[in-house]
Amino acid sequence: MLFRVELAPSRLLFAGIAISYLLALASLVFADIPPWASCVLALGISFSVLSSQFRRTQPVALLISEDMIRLYFPDRQISVLLETECHCTPWVQILHFRECLQVPALTNSAITSPALTEPDSLLVSMPRPGTARYSVILLPDSCRKSTRRKLAVLLRWHRFAHATQLV
């Protein structure tokens, strides 16, 4: 099974984030704090807006197959593990991923082999969770409705939906 989700920037998500920042700034007007503290908080909110523009870019595609999940960014692609704390409703789907690092490991025949120099004792690459985390938020304008529906069914009924991770 091969499933590809093309991700578009969400205008709804952008509007929600913009409104939340504007409400945070507007609340400073009515806050019962000294003016210097309001200025410091306004600078902090402004810094948060600016720093969010320079964070990691959002993925442009998600590829799910039987043996791996890949996130595609404009400049690179990475293998990831789907974490179990995903949120899936008809209106929003929030997927959490952890980068998958390939770590050398011994095969089963190498473990039972008395000498690691035998041909059966080969090193293989085993996936291990990395430290980088990625979240993908799918709103109605992020991708097609049929794609979101298929993804919801896949997340609910596939083998990696119940605390086993797809590698």
The label of the residue with tokens 């309001």 reads 38
- Cα(18)–Cα(54) distance, rounded to whole angstroms? 16
The tens digit of pLDDT for each residue in 81-133 reads 888 788 888 888 888 888 887 655 555 544 554 554 554 444 444 555 567 88
Task: Delimit the domains of the chain by residue range.
Answer: 2-6+59-161, 11-53
Q: Are 166 and 160 in contact (CB under 8 A)?
A: yes
Q: What share of the chain is helix, strand, coil (3-state, %, to 5)?
A: 35, 30, 35
The tens digit of pLDDT for each residue in 13-40 reads 889 888 999 999 999 988 889 999 999 9
Question: Which stretch of DSSP H or E encloses residue 105?
Answer: strand 93-106
- Confidence (pTM): 0.67
Q: Which residues pair with 133 in a beta bridge?
A: 98
Of residues 111, 114, 134, the one with CA closest to residue 124? 111
